[in-house]
Copies of this chain bind each other. A is one copy, B any other.
Amino acid sequence: MEDVPQSARRVTLGIGDDAAVWRPSRSHLSVITSDALIDGVHFLSGASAPRAIGHRAMASNLSDIAAMGARPVLATVALGVAPGTSEEWILECYRGMAALAARQRTRIVGGDIVRAPVLTLALTLVGEVAPSRLKRRDGGKPGDVVAVSGPLGASRAGLEIIRSSPEIEASARAAALAAYEKPEPRVSEGRWLAASRNVHAMMDSSDGLSTDLARLAAASGCGATISHVPVHPAAEAVARAAGADPNGYALDGGEDFELIAAVGPRAFAHLSRHFERRFGRPLLAVGQLDAEPGLRLRERGAERKLAPGGYDHLNAESGLPETVGSFSSS
């Protein structure tokens, strides 16, 4: 055989980022990401429409592709169908996935449907990016401005509405539910940011800003200080009605699928201005990367240590030991 596999060398980025990367040709990198979603753990089939569940599963994976600066190319879906699941439920869920995929010019190219005790969705997405534009999470430098692509906490607020129906005004309620059920992955924003050399590192905020920024900082050999928490207005309203801390929703809530970027400090103002011109909303500075390890929150002039409080599928929730966690790329 003349074409001896060189896969080990050609995989340029493996475990530990939003997606793995390999080099199918000289001019392109392909990226791949997989997520599994289980009824009762990652979604509630009784509380959301199947179309919204499909949408969220697709959004979560598209967000990982966006966080690499890549454009999504295709998806596969492995669907575990629980006893009693109707054909209509499956088709609606699939429509939710396919509609969002199509809007992002992506196709579901195949997959698998099997019986399972509870509804299970396992999606894999592949994307492509020019090698010079790939954004990893380990490129941040001390002094970089940490910015997010939008305000945070609205998805957590939407979950609260589903769980406890707090009394709030209709527009905040609608915004929070939309953020939870129909999050919009920042694919265009990711590609736009990836075109700038001053964006040194990028990832998405799927597990919450505190958790994901701690990961980005650690991967970059830095620490980080958060000095401004960009709370979504709907998160503010719902948290107050539920007697919770709005900052907690924004810092730890997760599933907002906004992008977190580490931007060279001298380039930030210019980049943010152009980002707002392009997308109609500002790139929000939330703090900076520091040489000192760890995560800090600066509030009213005082600084305190911040423990990552977002959703950690591996440790906090499953009780699995840390060594297993290193297996995950999400």
A interface residue numbers (CB < 8 A to B): 1, 3, 5, 7-8, 10-11, 13-17, 19-20, 22, 24-28, 30, 32-38, 40-42, 71-74, 76-81, 87, 90-91, 94, 105-118, 120, 122, 124, 126, 128, 130, 191-192, 195, 313-314, 317-318, 320-321, 323-325, 327-330
Contact = CB atoms under 8 A, between A and B. Distances in A.
Contacts of A28: 24-25
Nearest to A330: B112
Contact of A35 (B78, B91, B109): B78
Given A7-B72, A8-B105, A124-B124, A80 B38 contact: yes
Contacts of A118: 116-117
A114 B14 contact: no
B3 A71 contact: yes
A91 B325 CA distance: 11
A77 B33 CA distance: 10
Contacts of A72: 5, 7
B73 A5 contact: yes
Given A22-B73, A25-B27, A317-B115, A329 B36 contact: no
A105 B3 CA distance: 13
Contacts of A325: 113
A120 B113 contact: no
27 contacts: A1-B191, A1-B195, A3-B71, A5-B73, A7-B73, A7-B106, A7-B107, A8-B107, A11-B74, A11-B107, A11-B109, A17-B110, A20-B109, A22-B74, A25-B26, A30-B30, A32-B76, A32-B109, A35-B112, A38-B115, A87-B323, A90-B324, A111-B328, A112-B329, A115-B317, A122-B122, A124-B124
A19 B110 contact: yes
Given A114-B41, A313-B114, A36 B80 contact: yes
Given A7-B105, A87-B321, A114 B191 contact: no
A308 B280 CA distance: 57
Contacts of A13: 109
A35 B87 CA distance: 20
A314 B76 CA distance: 17
A121 to B, nearest CB: 9
Contacts of A109: 11, 13-15, 20, 22, 32, 329
Nearest to A19: B110
Nearest to A27: B25
A102 to B, nearest CB: 9
Contacts of A328: 110-113
A122 B24 contact: no
A26 B16 CA distance: 30
A324 B115 contact: no
Contacts of A42: 114
Given A35-B112, A41-B116, A80-B38, A20 B74 contact: yes
